[in-house]
Structure 1
Amino acid sequence: MSAVQSITAGQNATLEARLSRFPAREIRLASQRTVGYREAGGTQKDALPLVLLHGIGSGAASWVQQFEAIGGARRVLAWDAPGYGASTPVAAQSPVAADYAAVLAEWLDALGIGRCVLVGHSLGAIIAGAFAAANAQRVAGLLLLSPAGGYGAASAQVRDTKRDQRLAMIAELGPRGLAEKRSVNMLSAHASEEARAWVRWNMARVIAQGYAQATHLLANADLASDLARYRGPIDIAVGADDTITTPEACERLALAAGTPLRVVPRAGHAGYIEAPAVYTAIIDTFCRTSDGQRSHE
Protein backbone atom coordinates (compact mmCIF):
# COMPACT_ATOMS: atom_id res chain seq x y z
CA MET A 1 0.00 0.00 0.00
CA SER A 2 1.41 3.40 -0.97
CA ALA A 3 1.64 6.30 1.46
CA VAL A 4 -1.29 8.04 -0.25
CA GLN A 5 -3.43 4.89 -0.09
CA SER A 6 -2.54 4.48 3.59
CA ILE A 7 -3.60 8.02 4.39
CA THR A 8 -6.86 7.58 2.48
CA ALA A 9 -7.62 4.31 4.27
CA GLY A 10 -7.09 6.01 7.63
CA GLN A 11 -9.34 8.92 6.69
CA ASN A 12 -12.08 6.56 5.51
CA ALA A 13 -11.84 4.58 8.75
CA THR A 14 -12.32 7.76 10.76
CA LEU A 15 -15.35 8.81 8.73
CA GLU A 16 -16.84 5.32 8.86
CA ALA A 17 -16.42 5.31 12.64
CA ARG A 18 -18.30 8.60 12.84
CA LEU A 19 -20.95 7.23 10.49
CA SER A 20 -21.48 4.18 12.73
CA ARG A 21 -23.40 6.43 15.13
CA PHE A 22 -26.08 6.64 12.43
CA PRO A 23 -26.45 3.05 11.21
CA ALA A 24 -28.13 2.12 7.95
CA ARG A 25 -31.82 1.31 8.32
CA GLU A 26 -34.41 -0.16 6.00
CA ILE A 27 -38.17 0.26 5.86
CA ARG A 28 -40.71 -1.69 3.83
CA LEU A 29 -43.30 0.50 2.14
CA ALA A 30 -46.92 -0.28 1.34
CA SER A 31 -45.92 -0.81 -2.31
CA GLN A 32 -43.62 -3.64 -1.13
CA ARG A 33 -40.51 -1.69 -2.07
CA THR A 34 -37.67 -1.05 0.36
CA VAL A 35 -36.02 2.27 1.17
CA GLY A 36 -32.69 2.40 2.94
CA TYR A 37 -31.88 5.45 5.04
CA ARG A 38 -29.97 6.87 7.98
CA GLU A 39 -31.39 8.93 10.82
CA ALA A 40 -30.43 11.10 13.76
CA GLY A 41 -33.17 11.62 16.32
CA GLY A 42 -33.45 15.15 17.69
CA THR A 43 -34.69 16.19 21.12
CA GLN A 44 -36.65 19.32 20.16
CA LYS A 45 -40.19 18.07 19.61
CA ASP A 46 -41.34 21.37 18.07
CA ALA A 47 -38.64 21.25 15.36
CA LEU A 48 -39.69 20.01 11.95
CA PRO A 49 -37.87 16.95 10.56
CA LEU A 50 -35.06 17.66 8.12
CA VAL A 51 -34.95 15.40 5.05
CA LEU A 52 -31.76 15.26 2.96
CA LEU A 53 -31.59 14.00 -0.65
CA HIS A 54 -28.18 13.15 -2.13
CA GLY A 55 -26.88 13.53 -5.67
CA ILE A 56 -26.23 11.06 -8.49
CA GLY A 57 -22.81 9.90 -7.30
CA SER A 58 -23.47 9.73 -3.58
CA GLY A 59 -25.69 8.29 -0.85
CA ALA A 60 -27.20 8.82 2.58
CA ALA A 61 -23.82 8.39 4.28
CA SER A 62 -22.47 11.54 2.65
CA TRP A 63 -24.47 13.67 5.11
CA VAL A 64 -22.69 12.39 8.25
CA GLN A 65 -21.36 15.83 9.18
CA GLN A 66 -24.88 17.29 9.06
CA PHE A 67 -26.17 14.41 11.22
CA GLU A 68 -23.51 15.26 13.80
CA ALA A 69 -24.13 19.00 13.80
CA ILE A 70 -27.92 19.17 13.51
CA GLY A 71 -29.16 15.76 14.63
CA GLY A 72 -28.77 16.44 18.33
CA ALA A 73 -31.65 18.89 18.32
CA ARG A 74 -33.69 18.05 15.22
CA ARG A 75 -34.75 14.78 13.62
CA VAL A 76 -32.57 14.42 10.52
CA LEU A 77 -33.11 11.78 7.85
CA ALA A 78 -31.26 11.00 4.62
CA TRP A 79 -32.37 8.33 2.19
CA ASP A 80 -30.56 6.21 -0.28
CA ALA A 81 -32.51 7.13 -3.40
CA PRO A 82 -34.26 4.34 -5.34
CA GLY A 83 -31.56 2.18 -6.91
CA TYR A 84 -28.96 3.20 -4.32
CA GLY A 85 -27.87 1.24 -1.26
CA ALA A 86 -30.66 -1.10 -0.15
CA SER A 87 -33.40 0.94 -1.86
CA THR A 88 -35.52 -0.75 -4.52
CA PRO A 89 -35.03 0.81 -7.98
CA VAL A 90 -37.93 2.60 -9.63
CA ALA A 91 -39.80 0.50 -12.19
CA ALA A 92 -39.12 2.61 -15.28
CA GLN A 93 -35.79 2.19 -17.02
CA SER A 94 -36.00 5.82 -18.21
CA PRO A 95 -37.73 7.44 -15.23
CA VAL A 96 -38.93 10.99 -14.65
CA ALA A 97 -38.73 13.05 -11.47
CA ALA A 98 -42.31 12.18 -10.50
CA ASP A 99 -41.31 8.50 -10.22
CA TYR A 100 -38.80 9.31 -7.50
CA ALA A 101 -41.03 11.91 -5.86
CA ALA A 102 -43.78 9.28 -5.49
CA VAL A 103 -41.38 7.01 -3.60
CA LEU A 104 -40.31 9.94 -1.44
CA ALA A 105 -43.95 10.61 -0.52
CA GLU A 106 -44.51 6.97 0.36
CA TRP A 107 -41.32 6.84 2.44
CA LEU A 108 -42.32 9.93 4.41
CA ASP A 109 -45.77 8.41 4.95
CA ALA A 110 -44.20 5.23 6.32
CA LEU A 111 -42.10 7.28 8.74
CA GLY A 112 -45.09 9.32 9.88
CA ILE A 113 -43.70 12.59 8.51
CA GLY A 114 -46.49 14.82 7.30
CA ARG A 115 -44.42 18.00 6.91
CA CYS A 116 -40.68 18.58 6.73
CA VAL A 117 -37.83 20.81 5.65
CA LEU A 118 -36.55 19.34 2.40
CA VAL A 119 -32.95 19.70 1.19
CA GLY A 120 -31.79 18.41 -2.18
CA HIS A 121 -28.23 18.37 -3.48
CA SER A 122 -27.52 18.20 -7.22
CA LEU A 123 -29.73 15.40 -8.65
CA GLY A 124 -31.49 15.30 -5.28
CA ALA A 125 -32.68 18.83 -6.00
CA ILE A 126 -34.56 17.53 -9.04
CA ILE A 127 -36.42 15.01 -6.87
CA ALA A 128 -37.00 17.59 -4.14
CA GLY A 129 -38.36 20.11 -6.65
CA ALA A 130 -40.78 17.60 -8.18
CA PHE A 131 -41.99 16.55 -4.73
CA ALA A 132 -42.46 20.14 -3.57
CA ALA A 133 -44.33 21.14 -6.73
CA ALA A 134 -46.80 18.28 -6.20
CA ASN A 135 -46.94 18.35 -2.38
CA ALA A 136 -46.38 21.96 -1.34
CA GLN A 137 -48.40 21.49 1.84
CA ARG A 138 -45.88 18.90 3.04
CA VAL A 139 -42.83 21.15 2.54
CA ALA A 140 -42.24 23.87 5.12
CA GLY A 141 -39.15 24.95 3.21
CA LEU A 142 -37.21 23.81 0.15
CA LEU A 143 -33.43 24.28 0.15
CA LEU A 144 -31.48 23.36 -2.97
CA LEU A 145 -27.69 23.01 -2.87
CA SER A 146 -25.86 23.10 -6.20
CA PRO A 147 -29.05 21.98 -7.96
CA ALA A 148 -28.88 20.08 -11.25
CA GLY A 149 -31.44 21.54 -13.63
CA GLY A 150 -31.79 18.51 -15.89
CA TYR A 151 -31.91 18.46 -19.68
CA GLY A 152 -35.64 18.02 -20.20
CA ALA A 153 -35.98 21.42 -21.86
CA ALA A 154 -32.95 20.91 -24.11
CA SER A 155 -32.98 19.52 -27.64
CA ALA A 156 -33.27 15.77 -28.13
CA GLN A 157 -29.68 15.71 -29.37
CA VAL A 158 -28.34 17.37 -26.22
CA ARG A 159 -30.42 15.11 -23.96
CA ASP A 160 -29.28 11.97 -25.74
CA THR A 161 -25.63 13.02 -25.80
CA LYS A 162 -25.50 13.89 -22.09
CA ARG A 163 -27.30 10.68 -21.18
CA ASP A 164 -25.20 8.40 -23.37
CA GLN A 165 -21.90 9.88 -22.15
CA ARG A 166 -22.74 9.07 -18.53
CA LEU A 167 -24.10 5.62 -19.36
CA ALA A 168 -20.93 4.78 -21.27
CA MET A 169 -18.80 6.00 -18.38
CA ILE A 170 -20.47 3.85 -15.71
CA ALA A 171 -20.47 0.84 -18.04
CA GLU A 172 -16.78 1.24 -18.78
CA LEU A 173 -15.43 2.25 -15.38
CA GLY A 174 -17.82 0.72 -12.85
CA PRO A 175 -18.48 2.46 -9.52
CA ARG A 176 -14.90 2.34 -8.24
CA GLY A 177 -13.43 3.56 -11.50
CA LEU A 178 -16.08 6.26 -11.62
CA ALA A 179 -15.06 7.38 -8.13
CA GLU A 180 -11.41 7.64 -9.10
CA LYS A 181 -12.16 9.56 -12.31
CA ARG A 182 -15.05 11.82 -11.29
CA SER A 183 -14.64 12.52 -7.58
CA VAL A 184 -11.99 15.19 -8.16
CA ASN A 185 -14.55 17.28 -10.07
CA MET A 186 -16.85 17.35 -7.05
CA LEU A 187 -14.62 19.56 -4.93
CA SER A 188 -12.75 22.84 -5.11
CA ALA A 189 -9.00 23.28 -4.91
CA HIS A 190 -9.49 24.25 -1.26
CA ALA A 191 -10.90 20.86 -0.20
CA SER A 192 -9.07 18.79 2.41
CA GLU A 193 -7.77 15.29 1.73
CA GLU A 194 -10.38 14.00 4.17
CA ALA A 195 -13.16 15.55 2.07
CA ARG A 196 -11.68 14.05 -1.10
CA ALA A 197 -11.49 10.62 0.52
CA TRP A 198 -15.10 10.85 1.68
CA VAL A 199 -16.40 11.82 -1.75
CA ARG A 200 -14.53 8.86 -3.28
CA TRP A 201 -15.84 6.50 -0.59
CA ASN A 202 -19.46 7.44 -1.28
CA MET A 203 -19.13 7.44 -5.06
CA ALA A 204 -17.46 4.03 -5.11
CA ARG A 205 -20.58 2.56 -3.49
CA VAL A 206 -23.13 3.55 -6.11
CA ILE A 207 -24.94 0.71 -7.86
CA ALA A 208 -24.59 0.66 -11.62
CA GLN A 209 -28.29 0.09 -12.33
CA GLY A 210 -29.41 2.84 -9.98
CA TYR A 211 -26.83 5.23 -11.43
CA ALA A 212 -28.02 4.43 -14.95
CA GLN A 213 -31.65 5.13 -14.03
CA ALA A 214 -30.60 8.38 -12.36
CA THR A 215 -28.76 9.29 -15.57
CA HIS A 216 -32.03 8.92 -17.47
CA LEU A 217 -33.74 11.02 -14.79
CA LEU A 218 -31.18 13.78 -15.30
CA ALA A 219 -31.76 13.70 -19.06
CA ASN A 220 -35.56 13.81 -18.68
CA ALA A 221 -35.89 16.38 -15.88
CA ASP A 222 -36.71 20.08 -16.04
CA LEU A 223 -36.26 21.46 -12.52
CA ALA A 224 -36.93 25.06 -13.58
CA SER A 225 -40.45 24.08 -14.61
CA ASP A 226 -41.16 22.51 -11.22
CA LEU A 227 -39.72 25.49 -9.35
CA ALA A 228 -41.93 27.86 -11.31
CA ARG A 229 -44.96 25.91 -10.00
CA TYR A 230 -43.84 25.78 -6.36
CA ARG A 231 -45.06 28.65 -4.22
CA GLY A 232 -43.53 27.80 -0.85
CA PRO A 233 -40.37 29.10 0.87
CA ILE A 234 -37.23 28.31 -1.10
CA ASP A 235 -33.50 29.06 -0.97
CA ILE A 236 -30.77 28.07 -3.42
CA ALA A 237 -27.02 27.96 -2.72
CA VAL A 238 -24.01 27.01 -4.82
CA GLY A 239 -20.26 26.92 -4.34
CA ALA A 240 -18.36 29.70 -6.09
CA ASP A 241 -15.97 27.07 -7.49
CA ASP A 242 -18.64 24.59 -8.57
CA THR A 243 -17.75 23.47 -12.10
CA ILE A 244 -20.60 20.91 -12.39
CA THR A 245 -23.66 23.01 -11.57
CA THR A 246 -22.04 26.39 -12.03
CA PRO A 247 -23.17 29.60 -10.32
CA GLU A 248 -24.38 30.82 -13.72
CA ALA A 249 -26.57 27.73 -14.19
CA CYS A 250 -27.89 27.97 -10.64
CA GLU A 251 -28.68 31.65 -11.15
CA ARG A 252 -31.10 30.64 -13.91
CA LEU A 253 -32.83 28.24 -11.54
CA ALA A 254 -33.00 30.92 -8.85
CA LEU A 255 -34.68 33.24 -11.34
CA ALA A 256 -37.23 30.54 -12.16
CA ALA A 257 -37.90 30.12 -8.45
CA GLY A 258 -38.02 33.87 -7.78
CA THR A 259 -35.36 33.74 -5.09
CA PRO A 260 -31.85 35.21 -4.72
CA LEU A 261 -28.90 32.86 -5.24
CA ARG A 262 -26.43 32.42 -2.41
CA VAL A 263 -22.87 31.84 -3.61
CA VAL A 264 -20.51 30.22 -1.08
CA PRO A 265 -16.84 31.21 -1.47
CA ARG A 266 -14.10 28.54 -1.66
CA ALA A 267 -16.53 25.65 -2.22
CA GLY A 268 -17.12 23.26 -5.08
CA HIS A 269 -20.02 21.02 -6.05
CA ALA A 270 -20.09 18.88 -2.92
CA GLY A 271 -19.90 21.93 -0.68
CA TYR A 272 -21.67 20.32 2.25
CA ILE A 273 -18.82 17.79 2.44
CA GLU A 274 -15.81 20.07 1.93
CA ALA A 275 -17.13 23.13 3.80
CA PRO A 276 -19.41 21.52 6.41
CA ALA A 277 -19.46 24.41 8.87
CA VAL A 278 -20.69 26.92 6.29
CA TYR A 279 -23.23 24.61 4.69
CA THR A 280 -24.51 23.26 7.99
CA ALA A 281 -25.08 26.84 9.13
CA ILE A 282 -27.03 27.52 5.93
CA ILE A 283 -29.15 24.41 6.48
CA ASP A 284 -29.68 25.05 10.19
CA THR A 285 -30.69 28.69 9.67
CA PHE A 286 -33.09 27.67 6.91
CA CYS A 287 -34.60 25.01 9.17
CA ARG A 288 -35.15 27.48 12.00
CA THR A 289 -36.86 29.89 9.61
CA SER A 290 -38.98 27.07 8.22
CA ASP A 291 -40.05 26.02 11.72
CA GLY A 292 -41.76 29.40 11.88
CA GLN A 293 -43.91 28.44 8.89
CA ARG A 294 -46.02 26.33 11.25
CA SER A 295 -47.73 29.52 12.35
CA HIS A 296 -48.89 30.06 8.76
CA GLU A 297 -50.37 26.59 8.24
Structure 2
Amino acid sequence: MTNAVDIHEPVPAAELARLDARFPARSVTVAGGASVSVRECGTGPVLVCLHGIGSGSASWVDTAQLLAGEARLIAWDAPGYGSSTPLAADAPKAADYAQRLGALLEALDIDRCVLVGHSLGALMAAAAARRGSPLAARIAKLLLISPAAGYGAPGRAEAQARVRAERLDTLAQLGIAGMAAKRSSRLVSEHASETARQWVRWNMARLNERGYRQAVALLCGGDLLADLPSAMPVRVACGALDVVTTPETCAEVAKHCGVPLELLPHAGHASYVEQPAAVAALLRETLAA
Protein backbone atom coordinates (compact mmCIF):
# COMPACT_ATOMS: atom_id res chain seq x y z
CA MET A 1 0.00 0.00 0.00
CA THR A 2 1.38 3.39 -0.99
CA ASN A 3 0.56 6.64 0.77
CA ALA A 4 1.26 8.97 -2.14
CA VAL A 5 1.02 12.22 -0.23
CA ASP A 6 1.08 13.01 3.47
CA ILE A 7 -1.83 15.43 3.87
CA HIS A 8 -2.75 14.55 7.42
CA GLU A 9 -2.61 18.16 8.64
CA PRO A 10 -3.52 20.44 5.72
CA VAL A 11 -5.95 22.63 7.68
CA PRO A 12 -4.45 25.75 9.34
CA ALA A 13 -3.95 25.51 13.10
CA ALA A 14 -6.42 28.35 13.69
CA GLU A 15 -9.15 26.42 11.88
CA LEU A 16 -8.46 23.27 13.89
CA ALA A 17 -8.57 25.31 17.09
CA ARG A 18 -11.93 26.73 16.02
CA LEU A 19 -13.24 23.20 15.42
CA ASP A 20 -12.13 22.02 18.85
CA ALA A 21 -13.48 25.11 20.61
CA ARG A 22 -16.85 25.48 18.91
CA PHE A 23 -17.70 22.02 17.58
CA PRO A 24 -15.78 19.54 19.76
CA ALA A 25 -16.08 15.79 19.42
CA ARG A 26 -17.27 13.61 22.27
CA SER A 27 -18.13 9.94 22.59
CA VAL A 28 -21.60 8.72 23.53
CA THR A 29 -22.09 5.16 24.78
CA VAL A 30 -25.25 3.62 23.34
CA ALA A 31 -27.26 0.48 24.04
CA GLY A 32 -25.15 -2.62 23.56
CA GLY A 33 -21.97 -0.85 24.61
CA ALA A 34 -21.02 0.69 21.27
CA SER A 35 -19.58 4.20 21.16
CA VAL A 36 -20.70 6.94 18.78
CA SER A 37 -18.58 10.03 18.24
CA VAL A 38 -20.65 13.20 17.87
CA ARG A 39 -20.14 16.94 17.58
CA GLU A 40 -22.85 19.43 18.46
CA CYS A 41 -23.43 23.14 18.60
CA GLY A 42 -26.28 25.49 19.42
CA THR A 43 -29.66 25.34 21.12
CA GLY A 44 -33.21 24.96 19.88
CA PRO A 45 -34.93 22.43 17.61
CA VAL A 46 -32.69 19.49 16.81
CA LEU A 47 -30.99 18.83 13.48
CA VAL A 48 -29.24 15.46 13.18
CA CYS A 49 -26.75 15.42 10.30
CA LEU A 50 -25.26 12.34 8.63
CA HIS A 51 -22.13 12.77 6.49
CA GLY A 52 -21.10 11.03 3.28
CA ILE A 53 -18.69 8.19 2.52
CA GLY A 54 -15.55 10.33 2.37
CA SER A 55 -16.24 12.68 5.24
CA GLY A 56 -16.97 12.95 8.95
CA SER A 57 -18.73 14.95 11.61
CA ALA A 58 -16.27 17.86 11.44
CA SER A 59 -17.46 18.69 7.93
CA TRP A 60 -20.59 20.30 9.42
CA VAL A 61 -18.68 22.85 11.53
CA ASP A 62 -19.48 25.98 9.50
CA THR A 63 -23.13 25.09 9.00
CA ALA A 64 -23.47 24.37 12.72
CA GLN A 65 -21.96 27.70 13.69
CA LEU A 66 -24.24 29.62 11.33
CA LEU A 67 -27.28 28.04 13.01
CA ALA A 68 -25.99 28.08 16.59
CA GLY A 69 -28.53 30.66 17.77
CA GLU A 70 -31.47 28.91 16.11
CA ALA A 71 -30.96 25.15 16.35
CA ARG A 72 -29.06 22.38 18.06
CA LEU A 73 -27.10 20.72 15.28
CA ILE A 74 -25.74 17.25 16.07
CA ALA A 75 -23.39 15.57 13.59
CA TRP A 76 -22.27 11.99 14.09
CA ASP A 77 -19.29 10.07 12.91
CA ALA A 78 -20.97 7.07 11.29
CA PRO A 79 -20.07 3.62 12.61
CA GLY A 80 -16.44 2.95 11.67
CA TYR A 81 -15.69 6.67 11.26
CA GLY A 82 -13.82 8.83 13.75
CA SER A 83 -13.87 7.05 17.09
CA SER A 84 -17.30 5.46 16.47
CA THR A 85 -17.48 1.70 16.94
CA PRO A 86 -17.79 -0.12 13.59
CA LEU A 87 -20.80 -2.30 12.91
CA ALA A 88 -20.36 -6.03 13.36
CA ALA A 89 -21.08 -7.11 9.79
CA ASP A 90 -18.46 -6.73 7.06
CA ALA A 91 -21.24 -5.75 4.64
CA PRO A 92 -23.82 -3.88 6.74
CA LYS A 93 -27.16 -2.73 5.40
CA ALA A 94 -28.70 0.73 5.65
CA ALA A 95 -30.97 -0.65 8.37
CA ASP A 96 -27.91 -1.52 10.48
CA TYR A 97 -26.73 2.09 10.38
CA ALA A 98 -30.28 3.27 11.13
CA GLN A 99 -30.40 0.99 14.16
CA ARG A 100 -27.17 2.53 15.51
CA LEU A 101 -28.64 5.99 14.84
CA GLY A 102 -31.72 5.04 16.80
CA ALA A 103 -29.55 3.97 19.73
CA LEU A 104 -27.79 7.34 19.59
CA LEU A 105 -31.05 9.30 19.60
CA GLU A 106 -32.21 7.22 22.57
CA ALA A 107 -28.95 7.85 24.44
CA LEU A 108 -29.21 11.60 23.78
CA ASP A 109 -32.91 11.60 24.76
CA ILE A 110 -33.95 13.11 21.41
CA ASP A 111 -37.66 12.55 20.81
CA ARG A 112 -38.00 14.76 17.73
CA CYS A 113 -35.56 16.01 15.10
CA VAL A 114 -35.05 16.96 11.49
CA LEU A 115 -32.85 14.28 9.95
CA VAL A 116 -30.35 15.38 7.30
CA GLY A 117 -28.54 12.85 5.14
CA HIS A 118 -25.76 13.83 2.74
CA SER A 119 -24.63 11.46 -0.02
CA LEU A 120 -24.15 8.01 1.58
CA GLY A 121 -25.76 9.44 4.70
CA ALA A 122 -28.97 9.70 2.68
CA LEU A 123 -29.14 5.89 2.48
CA MET A 124 -28.87 5.70 6.27
CA ALA A 125 -31.36 8.53 6.79
CA ALA A 126 -33.93 7.06 4.41
CA ALA A 127 -33.74 3.69 6.19
CA ALA A 128 -34.38 5.46 9.49
CA ALA A 129 -37.29 7.45 8.04
CA ARG A 130 -38.99 4.74 5.98
CA ARG A 131 -42.57 3.78 6.62
CA GLY A 132 -42.72 1.21 9.42
CA SER A 133 -39.34 2.17 10.86
CA PRO A 134 -39.27 2.35 14.67
CA LEU A 135 -37.37 5.62 14.27
CA ALA A 136 -39.99 7.33 12.11
CA ALA A 137 -41.87 8.74 15.10
CA ARG A 138 -38.74 10.64 16.17
CA ILE A 139 -38.23 12.30 12.77
CA ALA A 140 -40.28 15.37 11.95
CA LYS A 141 -38.81 15.97 8.48
CA LEU A 142 -36.22 14.41 6.21
CA LEU A 143 -33.73 16.39 4.14
CA LEU A 144 -31.58 14.60 1.59
CA ILE A 145 -28.63 16.53 0.16
CA SER A 146 -26.91 15.09 -2.92
CA PRO A 147 -28.32 11.66 -2.07
CA ALA A 148 -26.45 8.52 -3.15
CA ALA A 149 -29.00 6.14 -4.64
CA GLY A 150 -26.82 3.05 -4.13
CA TYR A 151 -26.25 0.19 -6.57
CA GLY A 152 -28.36 -2.50 -4.94
CA ALA A 153 -31.51 -2.12 -7.04
CA PRO A 154 -32.45 -4.96 -9.42
CA GLY A 155 -30.58 -4.77 -12.71
CA ARG A 156 -27.60 -2.88 -11.31
CA ALA A 157 -25.26 -5.83 -10.71
CA GLU A 158 -22.75 -4.72 -13.35
CA ALA A 159 -22.52 -1.16 -11.99
CA GLN A 160 -22.33 -2.53 -8.45
CA ALA A 161 -19.34 -4.74 -9.30
CA ARG A 162 -17.60 -1.91 -11.12
CA VAL A 163 -18.01 0.62 -8.30
CA ARG A 164 -16.89 -1.90 -5.66
CA ALA A 165 -13.77 -2.76 -7.66
CA GLU A 166 -12.94 0.90 -8.34
CA ARG A 167 -13.32 1.94 -4.72
CA LEU A 168 -11.41 -0.96 -3.19
CA ASP A 169 -8.68 -0.92 -5.83
CA THR A 170 -8.09 2.76 -5.18
CA LEU A 171 -7.88 2.07 -1.45
CA ALA A 172 -5.40 -0.77 -2.01
CA GLN A 173 -3.21 1.24 -4.35
CA LEU A 174 -3.18 4.62 -2.59
CA GLY A 175 -4.20 4.10 1.01
CA ILE A 176 -6.38 6.57 2.86
CA ALA A 177 -4.04 9.57 2.53
CA GLY A 178 -3.50 8.95 -1.16
CA MET A 179 -7.24 8.64 -1.72
CA ALA A 180 -7.76 11.98 -0.02
CA ALA A 181 -5.16 13.57 -2.27
CA LYS A 182 -6.64 12.07 -5.43
CA ARG A 183 -10.40 12.09 -4.85
CA SER A 184 -11.15 15.05 -2.59
CA SER A 185 -11.01 17.64 -5.38
CA ARG A 186 -14.07 16.02 -7.03
CA LEU A 187 -16.18 16.93 -4.01
CA VAL A 188 -16.08 20.68 -4.56
CA SER A 189 -16.56 23.00 -7.51
CA GLU A 190 -14.25 25.59 -9.02
CA HIS A 191 -15.86 28.16 -6.72
CA ALA A 192 -14.63 26.50 -3.53
CA SER A 193 -12.29 28.45 -1.27
CA GLU A 194 -8.89 27.02 -0.39
CA THR A 195 -10.11 26.54 3.19
CA ALA A 196 -13.05 24.45 1.97
CA ARG A 197 -10.68 22.31 -0.11
CA GLN A 198 -8.44 21.84 2.92
CA TRP A 199 -11.36 20.72 5.08
CA VAL A 200 -12.53 18.21 2.48
CA ARG A 201 -9.03 16.70 2.25
CA TRP A 202 -8.61 16.75 6.03
CA ASN A 203 -11.85 14.86 6.61
CA MET A 204 -11.12 12.27 3.94
CA ALA A 205 -7.56 11.73 5.20
CA ARG A 206 -9.00 10.67 8.56
CA LEU A 207 -11.09 7.78 7.31
CA ASN A 208 -10.64 4.40 8.98
CA GLU A 209 -10.09 1.54 6.56
CA ARG A 210 -12.61 -0.86 8.10
CA GLY A 211 -15.32 1.77 8.33
CA TYR A 212 -14.67 2.82 4.75
CA ARG A 213 -14.87 -0.78 3.50
CA GLN A 214 -18.20 -1.19 5.29
CA ALA A 215 -19.42 2.05 3.73
CA VAL A 216 -18.42 0.83 0.27
CA ALA A 217 -20.49 -2.29 0.93
CA LEU A 218 -23.47 -0.10 1.82
CA LEU A 219 -22.99 2.06 -1.27
CA CYS A 220 -22.86 -1.02 -3.50
CA GLY A 221 -25.69 -2.93 -1.83
CA GLY A 222 -27.99 -0.07 -0.91
CA ASP A 223 -31.17 0.95 -2.71
CA LEU A 224 -32.31 4.42 -1.66
CA LEU A 225 -35.57 4.40 -3.61
CA ALA A 226 -36.69 1.22 -1.85
CA ASP A 227 -37.00 3.24 1.38
CA LEU A 228 -38.65 6.28 -0.22
CA PRO A 229 -41.00 8.13 -0.04
CA SER A 230 -40.42 8.50 3.69
CA ALA A 231 -42.99 8.46 6.46
CA MET A 232 -42.68 12.23 6.87
CA PRO A 233 -42.20 15.33 4.69
CA VAL A 234 -39.02 15.18 2.61
CA ARG A 235 -36.91 17.70 0.71
CA VAL A 236 -34.22 16.84 -1.81
CA ALA A 237 -31.38 19.22 -2.63
CA CYS A 238 -28.18 19.05 -4.65
CA GLY A 239 -25.21 21.23 -5.48
CA ALA A 240 -25.81 22.70 -8.91
CA LEU A 241 -22.24 21.75 -9.87
CA ASP A 242 -22.18 18.31 -8.24
CA VAL A 243 -20.28 15.81 -10.43
CA VAL A 244 -20.60 12.90 -7.98
CA THR A 245 -24.36 12.66 -7.45
CA THR A 246 -25.36 14.92 -10.30
CA PRO A 247 -28.45 17.12 -10.43
CA GLU A 248 -29.87 14.70 -13.01
CA THR A 249 -29.61 11.69 -10.70
CA CYS A 250 -30.82 13.68 -7.69
CA ALA A 251 -33.82 14.85 -9.73
CA GLU A 252 -34.85 11.21 -10.06
CA VAL A 253 -34.84 10.85 -6.29
CA ALA A 254 -36.90 14.03 -5.91
CA LYS A 255 -39.35 12.86 -8.55
CA HIS A 256 -39.76 9.53 -6.74
CA CYS A 257 -40.62 11.49 -3.58
CA GLY A 258 -43.03 13.78 -5.43
CA VAL A 259 -41.09 16.94 -4.61
CA PRO A 260 -39.02 19.38 -6.69
CA LEU A 261 -35.24 19.19 -6.65
CA GLU A 262 -33.73 22.22 -4.92
CA LEU A 263 -30.40 23.33 -6.39
CA LEU A 264 -27.66 24.98 -4.34
CA PRO A 265 -25.87 27.52 -6.58
CA HIS A 266 -22.08 27.46 -6.97
CA ALA A 267 -21.80 24.22 -4.99
CA GLY A 268 -20.33 20.82 -5.75
CA HIS A 269 -20.94 17.57 -3.90
CA ALA A 270 -19.71 18.68 -0.46
CA SER A 271 -22.07 21.64 -0.50
CA TYR A 272 -22.21 22.12 3.27
CA VAL A 273 -18.42 22.55 3.30
CA GLU A 274 -18.23 24.68 0.18
CA GLN A 275 -21.40 26.77 0.60
CA PRO A 276 -22.36 26.49 4.29
CA ALA A 277 -24.49 29.64 4.23
CA ALA A 278 -26.69 28.19 1.48
CA VAL A 279 -27.06 24.89 3.34
CA ALA A 280 -27.76 26.71 6.61
CA ALA A 281 -30.50 28.66 4.85
CA LEU A 282 -31.98 25.39 3.56
CA LEU A 283 -31.95 23.91 7.07
CA ARG A 284 -33.44 27.09 8.49
CA GLU A 285 -36.30 26.92 5.98
CA THR A 286 -36.84 23.24 6.76
CA LEU A 287 -37.16 23.97 10.47
CA ALA A 288 -39.56 26.84 9.85
CA ALA A 289 -41.82 25.15 7.29
TM-score (norm 1): 0.90
Find the aligned partners of 1:72 and 1:28 in 2 and give their Cα distance: 27
SS in 2 for 1:217: helix
Unmatched tracts of structure 1, length 5 or more: 290-297
Q: Helix, strand or coil for the counterpart of 1:166?
A: helix
Correspondence for 1:13: 13
Counterpart in the other structure of 1:67: 64
- How is 1:232-271 mapped onto 2 (pairs within 5 angstroms)? 232-271=232-271
- Counterparts of 2:138 and 2:12, CA distance in 1: 36
- The 5 A counterparts of 1:19-98 are 19-20=19-20, 21-42=22-43, 44=44, 48-98=45-95
Name the aligned partner's letter for residue 136 of structure 1.
A
2:3 aligned partner: none
Aligned equivalents of 1:186, 1:258: Cα separation in 2 = 27
The residue number in structure 2 matching 1:126 is 123
How much has 1:112 moved relative to structure 2? 0.2
Which runs of 5 or more residues in structure 2 are unaligned?
Answer: 1-5
Aligned to 2:169: 168
Identical columns (%): 51
CA contact (8 A) 2:42 2:67 kept: no
Deviations 1:153-175 (A, max 9, x none): 14322212211211111122111
Q: Distance in 1 between matches of 2:92 and 2:169?
A: 18
Q: 1:73-94: CA deviations, max 9, x gaps?
A: 3211100000001101111101
Structure 2 residue identity aligned to 1:80: D
What is the root-mean-square deviation of aligned Cα atoms in Å? Answer: 1.6
Structure 1 residues 49-99: Cα deviation after superposition (integer angstroms, max 9, x where no partner) = 110100000000000001211123321110000000110111110111001
SS of corresponding position for 1:286: helix
Distance 2:108 2:191 in 1: 38
Q: Give 4+ residue runs of structure 1 displaced > 6 Å after superposition.
A: none
Matches within 5 A, 1:125-144: 125-133=122-130, 134=133, 135-144=135-144
* CA distance, structure 2, for counterparts of residue 57 and residue 279 of structure 1: 19
Aligned length: 278
Contact 2:115–2:143 (CA under 8 A) maintained in structure 1: yes
Mapped to 2, the partners of 1:15 and 1:140 lie a distance apart of: 33
